[in-house]
């Protein structure tokens, strides 16, 4: 579990209480922290000092043992922290003074494709002669496995990948991607695992998923376009996927649950949901400080509960640390798309930054920040953390 100096901490409210893994200056070992305001409560130290029954869960400094402990323990730890915030202040340090590292070991990583607007846009760009959506799109949440070993914490430099691509004249070239892109997504972190052969029904979502993080699924569009038929994206995605250092417990998002868009046609039984797991989140995307998009998660066609039910309906087992991401979040309006591919319409309408420069795709040195917020019933907006990364050559 290595990491680099992570993202700036967003100012967390006292009911959000996201978890992180962090390293104090001069120390080698990691600790588990809880975000309060712009500080981190050192939970590893606090529970050890107090000889708390759950101290052992935090001793290793990673979220892995907590994830595996299951929903009853998640609830008890969160309740304990919320009830003892004042007393725990003695273990509080400014987040800006510590190194935030990858908070859990990613077991399997799955990326979905759950935004109708994004899928339609990509379909028009990649398959201009076909239908925007493939025939299966409204029947199941399309997804594929990505590379768990290249999931990195926010702040990790992103080296521009090289790969094969087909030029306009049909020749096959090899070199650095000319179409390096971001993808703003919401990630769902599985805690409690499941047994091989046992599907997880849509209503058991919150018994298995621990929380939410912010994901940038970096993409090399020219590599992807050449390689992805017939077995899907591979090297166009596998060079790096960045995640926020904070995992926000699902419990903190109870007030942000909303009805998802109406699904038409009705999906088959295992995808039918009575409990609403739409989420009123917004992902604000900035390139070098210029906000280029505010992508509304509320528009996602498939909910994370449906994604999990689909992922396991064939009996595939879950493990603690499985991460599944929503796919690029794009809304219907201008300035709501979660990728430069869509924002610049494959480069044909470059995006203008505050310094007057334009971007079709990312240049070396560009810094991408995706900051997530949730709007709770009543309208109050809470911060969920952010993921950032700078492109290097």
**Contact positions vs a second copy (CB under 8 A):** 107-108, 113, 123, 126-127, 134-136, 139-140, 142-150, 152, 156, 159, 161-164, 166, 172, 174, 196-197, 199, 220, 223, 226-236, 238-240, 268-270, 310-311, 313-319, 322
Residue 249 CA to residue 210 CA, distance in Å, equals 6
Which residues on neighbouring strands pair with residue 279, listed in sequence order?
257
Least separation in angstroms between CB 272 and a second copy: 11
Give the distance, in angstroms, between the CA of residue 175 and the centroid of all CA atoms in the same chain: 28
224 is in an annotated binding site: yes
**How far is it, in rounded angstroms, from Cα 326 to Cα 188?**
8
Q: How near is the Cβ of 12 to a second copy at its closest, in Å?
A: 29
185 annotated ligand-binding residue: yes
Tokens representing 277 are 């797991």
Helices and strands in the chain: count of H runs, count of E runs: 10, 26
Catalytic residue among 117, 118, 208, 310: 118
CB of 291 to a second copy, least distance (A): 29
- 366, 390 Cβ separation under 8 angstroms: yes
Give me Rg for the CA atoms of the chain. Answer: 20
17 versus 309: smaller Cβ distance to a second copy: 309
Q: Which is nearer to a second copy, 185 or 280 (CB)?
A: 185
Asked about 139 being catalytic, the answer comes back as no
* Closest CB 33 distance from a second copy, rounded Å: 25
**Minimum CB separation from a second copy for residue 171, in Å?**
11
Considering Cα of 198, then 142, then 276, then 297, what sign does the dihedral take?
positive
What are the residues facing 100 on neighbouring strands? 22
Phi and psi at residue 370, to the nearest 5°: -120, 115
Is 328 annotated in a binding site? The answer is yes
- Annotated ligand binding at 169? The verdict is no
113 is in an annotated binding site: yes
CA 233 – CA 224 distance, rounded (Å): 6
Beta bridge partners of 361: none
Dihedral class, residue 157 (left if φ above 0, else alpha if ψ from -120 to 50, else beta) = beta
The Cα–Cα gap between 163 and 177 comes to 7
Report whether 111 belongs to an annotated binding site. Answer: yes
CB of 169 to a second copy, least distance (A): 14
In terms of CB distance, is 103 or 146 closer to a second copy?
146
| 241 in a known ligand binding site | yes
| Contact status, residue 63 vs residue 103, Cβ threshold 8 Å | yes
The residue among 58 and 301 lying less far from a second copy, judged by its C-beta, is: 301
DSSP states of 273-294 as a string? -SS--EE-EEEEEEETTEEEEE
C-beta closer to a second copy: residue 299 or 322: 322
Identity of the residue, 33 or 146, whose beta carbon is nearer to a second copy in the bound complex: 146
- The tokens describing 166, both together, are 């087909």
> Least Å distance between CB 223 and a second copy?
7
The response to whether 183 counts as a known ligand-binding position is: yes
Give DSSP secondary structure letters for 163-198: EEEE-TTS-EEEEE-S-EE-BEEEEEEE-S---TT-
Q: Which is closer to a second copy, CB of 28 or CB of 172? A: 172
- Exposure on the CB side of residue 379, measured as CA atoms within 13 A: 0
Cβ within 8 Å of residue 108, ≥6 positions away: 145, 148, 319, 322, 323
**Binding site listing for Ca(2+):** 111, 183, 185, 217
Active site residues: 118
Binding-site residues for substrate:
113, 127, 224, 228, 328
Annotated binding site: 111, 113, 127, 183, 185, 217, 224, 228, 237, 241, 328
């Amino acid at each position: 579990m290595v990491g680099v100096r992570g993202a700036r901490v967003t100012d967390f409210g006292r009911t959000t209480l996201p978890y992180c893994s962090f390293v104090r200056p001069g120390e080698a070992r990691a600790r588990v922290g809880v975000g309060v305001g712009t500080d981190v409560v050192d939970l590893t130290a606090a529970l050890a000092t107090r000889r708390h029954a759950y101290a052992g869960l935090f001793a290793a400094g990673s979220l892995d043992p907590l994830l595996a402990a299951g929903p009853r323990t998640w609830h008890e730890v969160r309740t304990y922290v919320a009830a003892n915030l004042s007393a725990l202040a003695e273990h509080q340090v400014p987040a800006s003074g510590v190194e935030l590292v990858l908070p859990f070991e990613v077991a399997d990583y799955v990326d979905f494709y759950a935004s109708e607007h994004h899928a339609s846009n990509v379909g028009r760009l990649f398959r201009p002669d076909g239908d925007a959506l493939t025939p299966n799109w409204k029947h199941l949440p399309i997804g594929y496995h990505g590379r768990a070993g290249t999931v990195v914490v926010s702040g990790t430099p992103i080296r521009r990948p090289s790969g094969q691509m087909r030029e306009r004249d049909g020749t096959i070239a090899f070199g650095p991607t000319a179409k390096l892109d971001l993808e703003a997504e919401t990630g769902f972190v599985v805690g409690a695992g499941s047994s091989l052969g046992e599907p997880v029904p849509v209503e058991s979502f919150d018994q298995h998923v621990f929380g939410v993080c912010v994901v940038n699924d970096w993409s090399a569009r020219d590599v992807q376009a050449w390689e992805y038929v017939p077995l899907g994206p591979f090297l166009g995605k596998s060079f790096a996927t960045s995640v926020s250092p904070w995992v926000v417990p699902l419990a903190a998002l109870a007030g942000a649950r909303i009805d998802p868009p109406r699904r038409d046609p009705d999906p088959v039984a295992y995808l039918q949901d009575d409990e609403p797991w739409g989420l009123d989140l917004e992902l604000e995307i900035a390139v070098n400080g210029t906000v280029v998009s505010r992508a509304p998660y509320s528009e996602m066609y498939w909910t994370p509960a449906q994604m999990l039910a689909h992922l396991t309906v064939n009996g595939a087992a879950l493990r603690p640390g499985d991460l599944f991401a929503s796919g690029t979040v794009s809304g219907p309006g201008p300035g709501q798309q979660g990728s430069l591919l869509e924002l610049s319409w494959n480069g044909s309408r470059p995006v203008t930054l505050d310094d007057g420069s334009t971007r079709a795709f990312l240049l070396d040195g560009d810094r991408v920040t995706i900051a997530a917020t949730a709007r709770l019933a009543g309208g109050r907006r809470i911060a969920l953390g952010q993921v950032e990364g700078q492109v290097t050559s």
